[in-house]
Amino acid sequence: MENPRELKSEDLYTYCNLSDQDFVTTNDLEELHSFIGQDRVIDAVRFGIKMKKDGYNIFALGPDETDKKNLIRHYLRQSALHDDDVGDWCYINNFKEHHKPKILRLPAGKGVELRDTMSKLIDDLPSILTTAFESEEYQNRKQVIDEQNKDEENELFSQISEKAQDKGFALLRTPAGFTFAPLKDDEVMSPEDIQKISDDEREEMERVVEELQKDLQRVLRQMPGRQRGMREQKRELNKEIALYTIKDIFDDVRKRFTEIAEVQEFLDDVQNDIVENVKDIIGSQQAGGGLLSYIQGQQSMDTGNYPPDEHPVLIRYRINVLVNNSELKGAPVIYEDNPTYKNLIGRIEYRAQLGALMTDFNLIKAGALHRANNGYLIVDARKVLMEPFAWEGLKRVLKSGKLRIESPGESYGLISTVSLEPEPVEINVKVILLGERFLYYLLCTYDPDFKDLFKVEADFNDEMDRNTKNQLLYAQMIADMVKEYNLLPMDKAAVARVIEHSSRLVNDKEKISIQTHNIHDLLRESNHWAEDNKHEKIQSEDVQKAIDQQKYRSGRIKDIVQETIRRNTIFVDTSGEKTGQINGLSVLMIGKSIFGRPTRITARVQLGKGEVIDIEREVELSGPIHSKGVMILSGFLGERYGNQKPLSLKASLVFEQSYSGVEGDSASSAELYVLLSAISGVPVKQCFAVTGSVNQHGEIQPIGGVNEKIEGFFDICNQRGLTGEQGVLIPESNVKNLMLRQDVIQAVEQGTFHIYPVQTVDQGMELLTGMSMGERNEQGQYPGDTINHKVEDRLNTLVERRMFYLGMHEHDGRKWE
């Protein structure tokens, strides 16, 4: 069998060649004004924007490292500029039901204008009305009403008083009413005089008193009606004066909003309410009445001196501008950074007043959905899902198309206090959720409403092809970022280094990462090191320093792991040969740090019934994919060696000194190599480490993290001193993923470290042992001194032994298993 060719340094890294590009620094590059590699997302967003039907909200899915928000916002803003259906949203008092404030939609800018106009009117109102109601004319007319009524009352009392006097009685006041007292010489009779009166006279006096009492009763019973009449007269007078007084200022306000019927209607309501409550409004300008109120049973001694902002009547005329779009050009594009229930739906605030919590429509506060109405709302899916009630609240609004402000306690029936029930706002908003893919798929699976509400899937690419055209676009994107973050200009070599690093981020020399957050960070950190080095532009060495420093900062665990191997706490051989022992390669991901480490894998074989035991699985330290990989080995052995005879071995495989879980099948080729070594007794060279998964046909399949794995083994070998024999076997199909470190490339160049791409188990086994695998001859036999021969030979021996034991026990009459 032909050995695989060893990889050359040019196979290990693809340098970015920008020599054809005509720029010196990023300052020379044209602005991109677009996002690269996201055509699918851009089409999806454009589709979502144009689809005005219900449910066509957008879920932008992709890793957090991708700047989903900026891309989405960019396209939404472009689209929003063409929308002019925006307005201001205001809450106004409902004069029929005060606890149900009404919503008022006005053309953009008119909300603030109406608010300011009404505010001025409110400020002026008490003084205007007070002046009118303190005017001589009003006072005279009021006094006329008072006097007329008082005179009429007095006249009635005088008539009774005179009648009583004619009949020899006086009308007197008592603490709780009136009484008639008999007179003698114009003075009230003493009890002694009364005693002297004859029975007849007494009887006559009682008759007269009774008659007078009836007259007085009649008068007193008229009093409430008379009072009512007087109050009605005063009310009419107040109405006349109030209407006359406020007419001018109201006409001014009306003129400014002639074309808005709702405002005219509101002004009608306000005008009527002022007329009804003119006394309370004037009361705010006048002190007094407190003591009387107190005596009459009211609790407060407050004189009613309210500032206009707190006056219980005047605040009804205010305009609560919930959303002011006066400065907005086009439709709103709102990003809600903290999507709590209240921040999305809006809230009703309360103010403490004498120990009680009070509210009114002026304390209704807008949520992000209000601000985004007739526009777009961008929300982070994870945040909205983590906030209590927020997700359900958002869905409720999207389903009903109405935004009703209520506290979660009320919606769930937990609290039922007297509060406001603001009129719901008709909502027409396109919601864009940003989230990771797993969130999208979880929601699709577990939330029955989700697919109906978020029909547009905008799936962000993580990477794009690395070709000349895209490299230039990438350079332009870098230039845009440099300008956006106000960084030093970046020279061509530095740009190239960023592009190369971007390939490394996706572990693919033919791709570039478009997870822009990582690139943002790299640019900013490179800028820092450039400034630190007093460079006028960011150079390649600054980018390299930023990359190295990132690795260094998160490299503590990696260093510890490598140290334990170097100090032989964890056993890894990098020289010599051992039967049934091999160096596998695994990748550890801890926080931001990703690094490879070699792990010793061993195999032992004994007589059995064709089992390969994965010790990791037996102790539940392996994941299902790893277990699957081990089971594939049985398939390979069966297919190659077990066609004619049953496999009669029991093999055990173990990751030595592994104290935590193992997952993935990238070690399955190593496990097969070590298994074959254990069966055949052919030793494996320990100067190699191996990675790659294997299928039942013995083909080596690609794995992830190939760069980290190679670098992990290289670091150990390098620390111990490179012998010139050490190297790594990788799947041939992973060669395209190689973007290795420069020190590894240099070692390969110098021939002190080797990387072999392997397509089959046979190729790998030959490299690892230096012995041919061998192919069956015409008789179906493997030639001697080949691995296959040794394996088969050993398996045959095991079969014979098994048969021997089986026969012996059958002779005993016992079943042998």
Partner 1 sequence: MSKKIVIKHILVALDTSRHSLAALEAAASLAKSLEAELQGIFVEDIKWFNLGQISLSYEISDLTGTIKRLDDEEIERQVRAQSARLQKLMDTIGKQGNLKYTFRSVRGGVEKELLTATESADLITIGRVGWSHKKLSELGRTAKIIIEETDKPVLILQHGWHIGNTTVVIYDGTESGERALIVAEQLAFKQNNKLMVILSTSKSEEEGKLKEAVYMILHNSAVQVQMQMMKADKITTLKRIVKNEKGGLLIVPKHHELFGEKNLEELLSRIPCPLLLFN
Binding residues for partner 1, rule: CB under 8 A, are: 134, 139, 143, 146-147, 150-151, 153-154, 157-158, 172-182, 188-191, 194, 202, 205-206, 209, 213, 216-218, 220-221, 223, 286-292, 294-295, 301
Which CB sits closer to partner 1, 203 or 548? 203
Which residue in 480, 368, 517, 346 sits closest to 433, CA to CA? 368
Which CB sits closer to partner 1, 159 or 781? 159
Interatomic CA distance for residues 331 and 622, integer angstroms: 54
Q: At what angle do helices 706-720 and 556-566 cross, to 10 degrees?
A: 50
**Shortest CB 77 distance to partner 1, Å:** 57
**Shortest CB 198 distance to partner 1, Å:** 13
Interatomic CA distance for residues 710 and 507, integer angstroms: 12
**Shortest CB 123 distance to partner 1, Å:** 19
**Shortest CB 209 distance to partner 1, Å:** 6
Reading phi first (left if > 0) and then psi (alpha if -120 to 50, else beta), residue 167 is in alpha
**Shortest CB 135 distance to partner 1, Å:** 10
Which CB sits closer to partner 1, 140 or 569? 140
**Shortest CB 177 distance to partner 1, Å:** 4
**Shortest CB 212 distance to partner 1, Å:** 9
Which CB sits closer to partner 1, 9 or 286? 286
Amino acid, single-letter form, for residue 152: E
Which CB sits closer to partner 1, 354 or 560? 354
**Shortest CB 188 distance to partner 1, Å:** 6
Interatomic CA distance for residues 370 and 167, integer angstroms: 80
- For residue 5, the tally of other CB atoms under 10 A from its CB is 10
Which CB sits closer to partner 1, 223 or 357? 223
Interatomic CA distance for residues 817 and 802, integer angstroms: 9
Which CB sits closer to partner 1, 297 or 591? 297
Interatomic CA distance for residues 675 and 580, integer angstroms: 6
**Shortest CB 301 distance to partner 1, Å:** 7
CA gyration radius, the chain? 47
Which CB sits closer to partner 1, 135 or 750? 135
Q: At what angle do helices 787-811 and 668-680 cross, to 10 degrees?
A: 70
Which CB sits closer to partner 1, 50 or 173? 173
Q: Scanning the structure block, which residue is given the tokens 């993580």? A: 462
Give the Cα-Cα-Cα angle 228, 230, 232 (nearest 5 degrees).
Answer: 70
Which CB sits closer to partner 1, 188 or 415? 188
**Shortest CB 124 distance to partner 1, Å:** 18
Q: CB of 580 within 8 A of CB of 674?
A: yes
- Dihedral sign computed on CA atoms, order 490, 494, 499, 505: negative
Ranges of H-type helices in 315-378 = 341-345, 368-371
**Shortest CB 310 distance to partner 1, Å:** 21
Which CB sits closer to partner 1, 151 or 251? 151
Which CB sits closer to partner 1, 296 or 777? 296
Q: Are strands 102-107 and 87-92 parallel, antiparallel or unpaired?
A: antiparallel
Q: Scanning the structure block, which residue is given the tokens 């454009």? A: 46
Please provide the size of the chain in residues: 817
Structure tokens at 453: 């509400």
**Shortest CB 172 distance to partner 1, Å:** 6
**Shortest CB 167 distance to partner 1, Å:** 13
Rounded to the nearest 10 degrees, how much is the dihedral formed by the CA atoms of 466, 470, 475, 478?
-80
Interatomic CA distance for residues 808 and 745, integer angstroms: 61
Structure tokens at 78: 């472009």
Half-sphere exposure of 395 (CA within 13 A, CB side): 16
**Shortest CB 146 distance to partner 1, Å:** 6
Q: Scanning the structure block, which residue is given the tokens 């992990």? A: 712
Interatomic CA distance for residues 449 and 456, integer angstroms: 14
Which CB sits closer to partner 1, 24 or 144? 144
Which CB sits closer to partner 1, 168 or 424? 168
Which residue in 777, 764, 804 sits closest to 636, CA to CA? 764
Amino acid, single-letter form, for residue 366: A
Per-residue H/E/C for 648-693: CEEEEEEECCCCCCECCCCCHHHHHHHHHHHHHCCCEECCEEECCE
Q: Spell out the long-range contacts of 350-359 with Cβ–Cβ below 8 A and sequence spacing 24 or more.
A: 354/300, 359/419, 359/420
